[in-house]
C-alpha cells in the first residue's frame, strides 16, 4: 500500500502538535524515560557554575565523577562552564574564579565549589539543590586514617570552631560550618559575603577598627571591587582573641553566619577524597563503630597486647 506523502506530513504535524501540549510532553517522558523539556522549561532551570580550583591537575577519579555528576543532574539544573584555575595558594584561586565568573557576564544562580581531588556520587548535586538553602555542602573528610569530617561547630562564647561531635546521628541536613570541598553557594550568599568584606564588618565588630577608619578602608575596597570584581570572599580571618586564624573555608562560613545566612552540611552526601583511595565519611563511621565494639567487648588496645622482647 502506497502512503500518501501529504497524509503522512499531516499526521506528523498532528503528532508534533500533541507533543507541544503539557499532556503530550508528559506522555513522551513516561514512554522514553528521558528528561525531555520545552526550551522555556529548560531555560528556567537553575544555572550552576561549577568552579574547580586546582593545585596541580584534576584527579582522574574526579574527572570521571564530574561527568557522572552532570549526567545525574540532567533536568535539575543547567551548567555554566568556566576553565579550572591552578595555584598553590588555594584561597587566591577561589577568589580569582569568582572574579572570572563575574567578569564573564554569564548568568548564574549559584556556584558548586568542587576540589580537584573530590569524588561525588552522581546524584550529589541534586541532593544539595533539593534543600533550597543558600549554603549547603557534602560531608567530605580529610585524607588521613581514620579520616575526620570537614564540618565544625561554632561556639560564640569563645569565638572558636570545634570538630563536630557527630558519630553518624542525626544523619541528614545539619547546621554546621563546613569545608568547600563540595559546596553549593547561592549567588545571594556570595553577594552577602562580598558585602561583609566591602563594609569591613569583621574588622569593626571583632578587631577594634574604628568606624572612621573603616569608612576609609571600605571606600578603597569598593573602588578596587569596581575595577577587579574581586570581593575577597575567601580570607584567613584572625581569631579576635589572638588565638591564630581561621581557614579560608571556615572564614567564609563565619562571614555568611554574621550576615544571617546559616551554612549546612548534608551528611547523606558523602563524596570521596582521593588519596591512596577515595577517603569518605563511611571510613570515619567505620572507625567509630570499631572503637565502640572494642569498648563493648572489653577488647584491649593494640599497645596493651604488645609483647616486648628483652
Q: What percent of the chain has pLDDT over 90?
A: 56
pLDDT at 34 > cutoff 80: no
Burial category of 282 from C-beta neighbours within 10 Å (exposed 0-12, middle 13-18, buried 19 and up): middle
Residue with the three cell numbers 568556566: 82
pLDDT tens-digit map of 238-286:
999 999 999 999 999 999 999 999 999 999 999 988 876 677 888 788 7
Burial category of 300 from C-beta neighbours within 10 Å (exposed 0-12, middle 13-18, buried 19 and up): exposed
Q: Are 209 and 203 in contact (CB under 8 A)?
A: yes
Mean pLDDT, all residues of the chain: 84
The H or E element that residue 285 is part of is: helix 281-296
Tell which residue, 193, 206, 283, has the closest CA to residue 233.
193
Q: Are 110 and 193 in contact (CB under 8 A)?
A: no
C-alpha 94/C-alpha 230 separation (Å) is: 10
What domains, with CATH codes, occur in the chain? 15-44 (no CATH), 47-298 (3.90.550.40)
pLDDT at residue 35 in the model: 60
- Better-predicted residue by pLDDT, 10 or 48: 48
C-alpha 164/C-alpha 152 separation (Å) is: 5
- Of 136-145, 212-221, 262-271, 288-297, the one with minimum mean pLDDT is 288-297
- Better-predicted residue by pLDDT, 132 or 291: 132
C-alpha 52/C-alpha 41 separation (Å) is: 28
pLDDT tens-digit map of 195-229:
999 999 999 999 999 999 999 999 999 999 999 99
Residue 49, C-beta contacts closer than 8 angstroms, at least 6 positions apart: 79, 80, 81, 82, 101, 106, 108, 110, 111, 112
pLDDT at residue 62 in the model: 87
pLDDT at residue 300 in the model: 41
Cell readout for 270 is 558523602
pLDDT at 2 > cutoff 50: yes
pLDDT at 167 > cutoff 70: yes
Q: What percent of the chain has pLDDT over 70?
A: 77
Residue 167 burial (CB count, 10 A) = 12
Amino acid at each position: 500500500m502506497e502512503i500518501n506523502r501529504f497524509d503522512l506530513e499531516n499526521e506528523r504535524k498532528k503528532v508534533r502538535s500533541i507533543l507541544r501540549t503539557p499532556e503530550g510532553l508528559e506522555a513522551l517522558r513516561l514512554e522514553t524515560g528521558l528528561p525531555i523539556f520545552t526550551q522555556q522549561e529548560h531555560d528556567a532551570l537553575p544555572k550552576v557554575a561549577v568552579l574547580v580550583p586546582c593545585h596541580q591537575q584534576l584527579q582522574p577519579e574526579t574527572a570521571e565523577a564530574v561527568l557522572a555528576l552532570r549526567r545525574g543532574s540532567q533536568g535539575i539544573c543547567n551548567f555554566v562552564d568556566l576553565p579550572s584555575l591552578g595555584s598553590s595558594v588555594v584561597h587566591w584561586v577561589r577568589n580569582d574564579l569568582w572574579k572570572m565568573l563575574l567578569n564573564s557576564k554569564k548568568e548564574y544562580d549559584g556556584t558548586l565549589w568542587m576540589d580537584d581531588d573530590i569524588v561525588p556520587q552522581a546524584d550529589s548535586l541534586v541532593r544539595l539543590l533539593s534543600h533550597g538553602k543558600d549554603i549547603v555542602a557534602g560531608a567530605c573528610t580529610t585524607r588521613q586514617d581514620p579520616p575526620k569530617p570537614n564540618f565544625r561547630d561554632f561556639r560564640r562564647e569563645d569565638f572558636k570552631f570545634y570538630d563536630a561531635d557527630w558519630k553518624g546521628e542525626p544523619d541528614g541536613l545539619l547546621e554546621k560550618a563546613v569545608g568547600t570541598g563540595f559546596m553549593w553557594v547561592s549567588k545571594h550568599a556570595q553577594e552577602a559575603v562580598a558585602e561583609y568584606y566591602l563594609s569591613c564588618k569583621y574588622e569593626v565588630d571583632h578587631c577594634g577598627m574604628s568606624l572612621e577608619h573603616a569608612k576609609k578602608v571600605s571606600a578603597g575596597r569598593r573602588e578596587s571591587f569596581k575595577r577587579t570584581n574581586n570581593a575577597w570572599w575567601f580570607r584567613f580571618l584572625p581569631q579576635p582573641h589572638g588565638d591564630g586564624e581561621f581557614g579560608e573555608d571556615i572564614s567564609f562560613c563565619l562571614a555568611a553566619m554574621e550576615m544571617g545566612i546559616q551554612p549546612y552540611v548534608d551528611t547523606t552526601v558523602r563524596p570521596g577524597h582521593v588519596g591512596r583511595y577515595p577517603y569518605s565519611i563511611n571510613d570515619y563511621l567505620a572507625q567509630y563503630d570499631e572503637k565502640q565494639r572494642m569498648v563493648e567487648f572489653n577488647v584491649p588496645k593494640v599497645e596493651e597486647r604488645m609483647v616486648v622482647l628483652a
